[in-house]
């Protein structure tokens, strides 16, 4: 999503005053996997089975890692497009940092309660709402930058529209999955992972490489030949 973006007018930290590092706000594995301290004695004899039993922690961590990674990529693209920042933009940045820093808490809830009927629905719903708020605030940050004319004046309208489209689709999907989580919690968590991977993986670029575009005139000549 950030390939081809020009960085003129932006410093290392971006005009917004904050560009998160790739690891600074990621949930620590120890937060999700602290329950491994109980793997001892009789359980320790079957370590492989004990590790497999912790799959909810792996899944929750993978979803959170991917979601925060997607937010970092989106934030990186936004700051690359900026020409300047104002006070409101910096405070929106701070609010985004607050939500990203909060993600480890619902991550641990999902890891701990995914097995428990009733509690898992609450944990997954709370988790989904947190991810939705994080993604929504990222979009709000970008739309504010565009409306306040903080983006670089030399930026093409097509580039602005492309990033807007890139940041928008996940919102409706999150709403659907939050409702689904009330009935199928595990399906909802896997759906959250799918949304994050959609943001991270450059599908358009991969598709363009696998299926290169052939001009219509050339295609017609090939067909007629």
The total of other beta-carbon atoms located within 10 Å of residue 34's CB is 14
Could you give the percent of the chain with pLDDT greater than 70? 70
> Residue 76, CB half-sphere, CA atoms under 13 Å: how many?
17
Tell me, yes or no, whether 220 lies in a domain: no
Nearest to 142 by CA among 161, 164, 158: 164
Cα separation, 182 vs 93, whole angstroms: 31
Over residues 207-216, the pLDDT tens digits come to 666 766 544 4
Domain count, the chain: 1
Could you give the percent of the chain with pLDDT greater than 90? 51
Cα separation, 54 vs 34, whole angstroms: 10
Tell me, yes or no, whether 225 lies in a domain: no
Cα separation, 129 vs 205, whole angstroms: 30
Tell me, yes or no, whether 39 lies in a domain: no
Tell me, yes or no, whether 10 lies in a domain: no
Cα separation, 93 vs 13, whole angstroms: 12
Q: Residue 43 — very low, low, confident or very high, per pLDDT cuts 50/70/90?
A: low
Tell me, yes or no, whether 195 lies in a domain: yes
pLDDT at 225: 45
pTM (2 d.p.): 0.71
Tell me, yes or no, whether 6 lies in a domain: no
| 16: phi then psi, degrees, rounded to nearest 5 | -75, -5
Tell me, yes or no, whether 2 lies in a domain: no
Residue 176 reports pLDDT greater than 80: yes
Query: Domain limits at 88?
Result: 46-202
Tell me, yes or no, whether 219 lies in a domain: no
């Amino acid at each position: 999503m950030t390939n081809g973006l020009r960085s003129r007018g932006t410093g290392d930290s971006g005009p917004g005053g904050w560009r998160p590092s790739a690891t600074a706000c990621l949930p620590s594995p120890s937060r999700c996997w602290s329950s491994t301290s109980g793997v001892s004695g009789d359980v320790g004899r079957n370590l492989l089975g004990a590790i497999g039993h912790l799959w909810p922690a792996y899944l929750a961590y993978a979803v959170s890692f991917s979601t925060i990674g997607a937010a970092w990529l989106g934030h990186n693209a936004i700051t690359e497009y900026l020409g300047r920042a104002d006070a409101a933009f910096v405070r929106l940045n701070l609010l985004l940092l607050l939500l990203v820093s909060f993600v480890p808490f619902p991550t641990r809830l999902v890891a701990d309660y995914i097995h428990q009927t009733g509690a898992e629905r609450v944990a997954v719903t709370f988790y989904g709402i947190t991810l939705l708020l994080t993604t929504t605030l990222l979009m709000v940050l970008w739309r504010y930058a565009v409306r306040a004319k903080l983006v670089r004046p030399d930026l093409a309208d097509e580039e602005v529209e492309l990033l807007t489209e890139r940041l928008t689709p996940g919102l409706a999907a999150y709403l659907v999955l939050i409702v689904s989580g009330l009935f199928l919690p595990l399906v909802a968590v896997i759906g959250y992972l799918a949304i994050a991977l959609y943001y991270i993986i450059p599908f358009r670029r991969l598709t363009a490489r696998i299926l290169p575009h052939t001009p219509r005139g050339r295609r017609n000549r090939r067909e007629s030949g």
